[in-house]
Amino acid sequence: MSETARLRRARVARIYDAGDTTVLLGPDGRAHQLHAESAQLARVVLGFLLQPRSPREVVAHVEALSGAALGEGSVVDQLLGLLLDAGAIERFEPDSAPAAPASPPRHDRVVLCLAGGVAAMHAPAMVARLLDRGFEVRVAATKNALRFVSAYALERLVHRPVAQDLYEGETAVPHIDLAAWADAVLVWPATATTLSRLATGNFDSIVSAVALATAAPVIIAPSMNAGMYARAAVQRNIEQLARDGLHVIHPSFGIEVADPPLDRPRKLGPAPPIEVVVQMLETALALRRAGTRVTPRSGAEWDQVYASERPERLPWYTDRVDDDLLASFERLAPRHALVLDIGTGLGTMAVAAAERGHRVVATDLSGRALEDARRRSPELSVLWLEDDITNTRRRSSFDIAVDRGCLHLLTPDAAARYAENLATLLAPGGHLLLKTHATEEGDRHGTMPHTAETLARLFGSAFEIVEDHASTFPGPAQAPAARLFVLRRA
């Protein structure tokens, strides 16, 4: 094991102690028993690894406690290997640890609407999962739902009263106020009766009233007896809700509590596990965000975008450079090139270029995005620069510039300044690798896609378009159609 590696106790460790024995349950289900001194040593090491430590620090700690020197390949090294294999400890990568945000992020606000299905008994676990994922949560529940779960328990979790009535509660008109407050409404578990209310516009319960009154996306997780789910009326309601634009999650196979406890075959009808329902909620929000037509213009607006969402959920996020973009870069970039990465965001392209031995200047309007990018790769020689390419003061002579999705966000006037500045920044014979939305994506995403003809007019005689390829923008939820252009500075 490398002496530079750092280890810490796993967030979830499958361990129990009994007398002088410690039992470790590995990911493969195999139990490892440690007795007497070995068990005591494991407990000492696990306690020490509540904070990240190197193997050398662990050995030094044990030596200090025992008063004996430990040689290479000691029992401590063997124990660390066993603890790693069993999943009781894990390797710690400091660069992956989230840092405190520069300003408090905006959390998506979710109203969890509980209908009277037996799955409502798991509502505290659902609320806990939503909170863990960074959502701000409020709860509305029918009286039947509260047969299965205590309002008191839910209120302790969210620190707000549970809305139970259309006209009595924390505010004068709870269902309207919650509908306006929400960024999303999650109806879970959605019983057959609740599906009927939603499909027919029946506002007579707090749950249906919130879901029908909101302008936010509504995610519905049907959960019921298999026989009920299969009924034609229920299926008609589900189809109607999907046509109305609500997001209806498919059920899973699960047990029916009406069956005897020892005779419960799995049948189609219950909602998927909580983790899956939350993933579907996050996906619906990400896709909605990807389709927004409001483009941030200032650095402060872009900072807010990066502050309000986890990086991996941003619609343009990718943890590796697009294959076609990287292939063009590797083919055209001269050795030890000076590279300009325009609108670098979280720095994926800049990092790839620096790892290949190039000198990189990575620019973006968002200081927050640049700070996140710098934190992810502090060891690389990249100049992370807060700069507006349409009003830049840079005067370097770059060998190659890369733009993945920046130009198509600009207004025509800003695009003209962009082209004028690129003509100054790129050395003669240098290349601009430019990826924009394809024409058909413009209306969907609120962008201004480009063609070879529009680029020829924009850049004039300063650049020659030498390549034009069909492409995509890979992202976490979809891959919009794109064009990849290669332009050469005259």
Could you tell me which residues are beta bridge partners of residue 403? 342, 434
Residue 210 inside a domain? The answer is yes
Residue 292, pLDDT score: 52
Q: 176 and 87, same structural domain?
A: no
CATH number assigned to the domain comprising residue 16:
3.90.930
Q: 41 and 114, same structural domain?
A: no
Q: 282 and 141, same structural domain?
A: yes
Residue 100, pLDDT score: 39
**Choice between 69 and 472, residue whose per-residue pLDDT is larger:** 472
Residue 429, pLDDT score: 96
Q: 359 and 267, same structural domain?
A: no
Going by pLDDT thresholds of 50, 70 and 90, the confidence category of residue 98 is very low
Residue 100 inside a domain? The answer is no
Residue 299, pLDDT score: 87
Distance in angstroms (rounded) separating the CA atoms of residues 67 and 46: 19
Residue 417 inside a domain? The answer is yes
Other beta carbons within 10 angstroms of residue 437's beta carbon come to 23
Q: 366 and 401, same structural domain?
A: yes
Q: 83 and 146, same structural domain?
A: no
Residue 101, pLDDT score: 37
Residue 101 inside a domain? The answer is no
* pLDDT over 80 at 442, yes or no: no
Going by pLDDT thresholds of 50, 70 and 90, the confidence category of residue 197 is very high
**Choice between 477 and 325, residue whose per-residue pLDDT is larger:** 325
Give tens-digit pLDDT for 396-436.
Answer: 899 999 999 999 999 888 999 999 999 999 999 999 999 99
Q: 390 and 333, same structural domain?
A: yes
**Where is the domain boundary, 257, 290, 323?**
290
Give tens-digit pLDDT for 445-470.
Answer: 778 899 999 999 999 999 999 999 99
Q: 467 and 327, same structural domain?
A: yes
* pLDDT over 70 at 290, yes or no: no
Average pLDDT, the chain: 90
Residue 473, pLDDT score: 94
Q: 399 φ, ψ to 5°? A: -80, -30
Residue 483, pLDDT score: 96
Residue 105, pLDDT score: 41
Residue 296 inside a domain? The answer is no
Residue 443, pLDDT score: 66
CATH number assigned to the domain comprising residue 275:
3.40.50.1950
Residue 441 inside a domain? The answer is yes
Distance in angstroms (rounded) separating the CA atoms of residues 20 and 39: 7
- Average pLDDT, integer, range 311-329: 89
* pLDDT over 70 at 272, yes or no: yes
Most confident of 25-39, 243-257, 291-305: 25-39
Domain of 196, in residue numbers: 109-290
CB 370 within 8 A of CB 384: yes
Q: 285 and 367, same structural domain?
A: no
Residue 94, pLDDT score: 64
Residue 97, pLDDT score: 43
* pLDDT over 50 at 236, yes or no: yes
**Choice between 291 and 262, residue whose per-residue pLDDT is larger:** 262
CATH number assigned to the domain comprising residue 382:
3.40.50.150
Residue 106, pLDDT score: 43
Q: 442 and 333, same structural domain?
A: yes
Distance in angstroms (rounded) separating the CA atoms of residues 32 and 24: 5
Angle at 415 (CA atoms; ends 410, 417), nearest 5 degrees: 130
Q: 246 and 140, same structural domain?
A: yes
Residue 259 inside a domain? The answer is yes
Give tens-digit pLDDT for 32-72.
Answer: 999 999 999 999 999 999 999 999 999 999 999 988 888 76
- Average pLDDT, integer, range 237-256: 90
Give tens-digit pLDDT for 182-196.
Answer: 999 999 999 999 999
Residue 299 inside a domain? The answer is no
Q: 139 and 47, same structural domain?
A: no
The number of folded domains in the chain is 3
Percent pLDDT > 70 in the chain is 93
